[in-house]
Amino acid sequence: MDGRINIRELIMKSAGGALHRRADRIVSVFLLLAASISIITSIGIVLTLVTDAAHFFSEVSLRDFFGKNLAPLGSNPSFGVLPLIVGTLASSLLAMIVAVPVGLTAAIYMSEFAPAGLRNTLKPMMEVLAGIPTIVYGFFAYSFVTPMLMKMLPGLEAKNVLSAGLVMGVMIIPMVASLSEDAMNAVPTALREGALALGSTKLEVTLKVVVPAAISGIIASFILGISRAVGETMIVVIASGSSKKLTFDIMQSMQTMTSYIVEFTGGDAGSGTTGYYSLYAVGLLLFIFTLIMNLIAQYISKKYREAY
């Protein structure tokens, strides 16, 4: 080799190639295992839900299940979940009424208008907000927001879905803002330059180019926000109470699917009773709810996608 190195030979000589190929295979087996764990767990959860819910539906008809009367502990128990569905939808809707406009505005500001320095402080701050335990939000709703709202709305009950929903919205803002901001940040600068060079103002660039280009990510952030709201438990347990009466009045207490489950896993319903199995039926319903939402999200984001 007369003093010069022969790269080709060095590569061929070192056994690295074969070793790497084996390591590659081992790594991919590990990755497959890791992926399987989450899939197997999901299947397990669904199976438990379905088998125990099947018990429940052998005793309660679907018609009664989707009925208006919920009195699981009465001497003649009834298991209509409409009040829970209304409670869940009302609290989630209220939350999104807060989280979508505020979160999206914050995202637009951070991604398109804030100077880089400010943005780099705002985003971590928002993420801290997202890390506050939900029980703190629940307590905040019950002991601060409700009394404050009572001064403006005299008819407001001490436990009500209104303040639970609003505070839940505040809790979800960082998630919507942060994910939407990521989506807008990923839009190539060249698109903004093209639009600016045509005489657009910054706001026009944002609304007509950046937001449409990022829309699938933005919608995904909304749907994740809704999923979070539907699944949220502590805030509604504390601030919205456990009224099982069917009502559409957001100034009153409403129970959600999640807080129903919390109440009955507390031990009120003995194992093997219909009340006990109703937990699984409600759990299954909750699961189907979030599943449908995710499917809608996928459909919407595919339909409005402006891929760049």
Partner 1 sequence: MTSKANDERKSDIVYDVDNLNLWYGNDQALRDVTLDIKRNEVTAIIGPSGCGKSTFIKTLNRMVELIPIVRTSGEIYYHGNNIFEKTTRVEDLRTKVGMVFQKPNPFPKSVFENVVYGPRIHGIKSRKVLEEIAEISLKRAALWDEVKDRLHDNAYGLSGGQQQRLCIARVLAVEPEVVLMDEPTSALDPISTLKIEDLIHELKQTYTIIIVTHNMQQAGRISEKTAFFLNGEVIEYDRTEMIFSTPKDKRTEDYITGRFG
Number of residues counted as binding partner 1 (CB under 8 A)? 21
CA gap 99, 148 in Å, rounded:
20
303 lies in the binding site for partner 1 (CB under 8 A): no
- Write out the two tokens for 42: 């999901």
197 lies in the binding site for partner 1 (CB under 8 A): yes
194 lies in the binding site for partner 1 (CB under 8 A): yes
201 lies in the binding site for partner 1 (CB under 8 A): yes
CA gap 77, 67 in Å, rounded:
13
190 lies in the binding site for partner 1 (CB under 8 A): yes
What is the closest distance, in whole angstroms, from the C-beta atom of residue 113 to partner 1 in the complex? 13
204 lies in the binding site for partner 1 (CB under 8 A): yes
Q: Which of 40, 208, 268, 296 binds partner 1 (CB under 8 A)?
A: 208
212 lies in the binding site for partner 1 (CB under 8 A): yes
113 lies in the binding site for partner 1 (CB under 8 A): no
117 lies in the binding site for partner 1 (CB under 8 A): no
**114 near 105, Cβ under 8 Å?**
no
Site mask for partner 1 (CB under 8 A), range 129-168, x = bound = ----------------------------------------
Of residues 101 and 188, the one with the C-beta less far from partner 1? 188
308 lies in the binding site for partner 1 (CB under 8 A): yes
SS (H, E, C) the chain: CCCCCCHHHHHHHCCHHHHHHHHHHHHHHHHHHHHHHHHHHHHHHHHHHHHHHHHHHHHCCHHHHCCCCEECCCCCCEECCHHHHHHHHHHHHHHHHHHHHHHHHHHHHHHHHCCHHHHHHHHHHHHHHHCCCHHHHHHHHHHHHHHHHHHHCCCCCCCCHHHHHHHHHHHHHHHHHHHHHHHHHCCCHHHHHHHHHCCCCHHHHHHHHHHHHCHHHHHHHHHHHHHHHHHCCHHHHHHHCCCCCCCCCCCCCCCCHHHHHHHHHHHHCCCCCHHHHHHHHHHHHHHHHHHHHHHHHHHHHHHCCCCC
Of residues 66 and 308, the one with the C-beta less far from partner 1? 308
Of residues 187 and 286, the one with the C-beta less far from partner 1? 187
250 lies in the binding site for partner 1 (CB under 8 A): no
Of residues 162 and 209, the one with the C-beta less far from partner 1? 209
What is the closest distance, in whole angstroms, from the C-beta atom of residue 213 to partner 1 in the complex? 5
110 lies in the binding site for partner 1 (CB under 8 A): no
Q: Which of 82, 89, 129, 196 binds partner 1 (CB under 8 A)?
A: 196
Given the rule CB under 8 A, which residues bind partner 1? 115, 188, 190-191, 193-201, 204, 208-209, 212-213, 306-308
